[in-house]
Amino acid sequence: MLREWITLLCDRGTRQARRFGHDREAVAIAARHRRCHAAWKPHLEAAKALVLTTADTAPGRDTAVILGSGLCLDVPVEELCARFGRVFLVDAHHPRPVRKLARRHRNLRLVTADVTGMGEPVARAAASGRPLPDPVFPPDPLPPGLRPDFTISLNLASQLPIPFYKVLDGRVDADVLKRFGRELIEAHFAWLERLPGRVGLVCDRLWERVDGDGAVVESRDALEGAQPPVPDRAWIWDIAPRPEESHCYDRRNQVWGYLDFAASRNGKPAGTGSQGT
């Protein structure tokens, strides 16, 4: 705990990142990864493999974009920098290890952005009681004029509402808040589908608790009712094996992956989606 506190003290995020806890979450994820390294390894390897497989189908080799880069635990940075002229890491907070990584790669760029575009409206709603935006419109967090050859949303979609839930809990009707969370995720999916180039996605589909006999004792929709298409790949992320959260259960995520999200959304085989021009 002391190590985490010192890390946070030395690596605070922007004002908005502090408001919504993105910097605290980065410290917590790093600490859990240290404790659960072996359990996380298959998930991280599966995510990296999907990133590279999808990247290899991109129509060009100029620009790659990683949405939700975080600590880059699931980002094959070296390989992407070797494949593309520019690699953009997009997140609300870039921890110090990632900033150091960017200094080692001349073609690695960091973009600090609220991928939802809802940070300021939510802050106003929390402070003044104003209604939340309805409907939620897809944002564009990328630098103006950027047209990526390859984009992937990486273990991000299910996380989009969570910082807002923490800020708005008790201030907004529960049903309104749940609908807002679903619309955030749906807006993200809609924006991804319209991007040029090849677009991939890795996201949690279900959050589960499993007892000692392997029986699922609790299952929750990680996407708040948003309906993604049938995935190209699926695997289990053992995110909190006993006794990380409890001596009674393991927590795991069902993860879905897409090699060509636009094609999947339109019911087509991977590789037949829009390439954008």
Average pLDDT score over residue span 260-272 = 86
Amino acid sitting at position 264? S
What's the confidence (pLDDT) of residue 158? Answer: 97
CATH architecture of 42-265: 3-Layer(aba) Sandwich (3.40)
Residue 143 has pLDDT above 80, yes or no: yes
Average pLDDT score over residue span 212-240 = 95
Q: Which sequence spans correspond to the domains of the chain? A: 42-265
Residue 211 has pLDDT above 80, yes or no: yes
Count of beta carbons in the 10 Å neighbourhood of residue 269: 11
Q: Which of 119, 115, 256, 260 is nearest to 198 (CA)?
A: 260
Q: Which of 194, 199, 190 is nearest to 227 (CA)?
A: 190
Average pLDDT score over residue span 129-150 = 88
What's the confidence (pLDDT) of residue 276? Answer: 47
Residue 139 has pLDDT above 90, yes or no: no
pLDDT in tens, 36-63: 999 999 999 999 999 999 999 999 999 9
Whether 241 contacts 35, CB under 8 Å = no
User: How high does pLDDT run on average in the chain?
Assistant: 91
CA 16 – CA 18 distance, rounded (Å): 5
Average pLDDT score over residue span 170-197 = 92
Q: Please, what sign has the CA dihedral across residues 137, 29, 40, 71?
A: positive
Q: Which residue has the higher pLDDT, 135 or 85?
A: 85
**Residue 277: band (very low, low, confident or very high) from pLDDT cuts 50, 70, 90:** very low
Cβ neighbors of 140 (< 8 A, separation 6 or more) are 117, 191
Amino acid sitting at position 112? T
CA 182 – CA 157 distance, rounded (Å): 10
* Torsion angle of the four alpha carbons 138, 49, 240, 36, in this order, in degrees rounded to the nearest 10: -130
What's the confidence (pLDDT) of residue 7? Answer: 66
Q: In 11-150, which residue ranges form alpha helices assigned H by DSSP?
A: 15-20, 22-35, 37-55, 77-83, 96-104, 119-128
Q: What percent of the chain has pLDDT over 90?
A: 71
Average pLDDT score over residue span 102-109 = 96
Distance of CA 111 to the CA centre of its chain: 14
CA angle 62, 99, 27 (to 5 degrees): 125
Residue 274 has pLDDT above 80, yes or no: no
Cβ neighbors of 67 (< 8 A, separation 6 or more) are 90, 91, 115, 141, 151, 152, 153, 154, 156
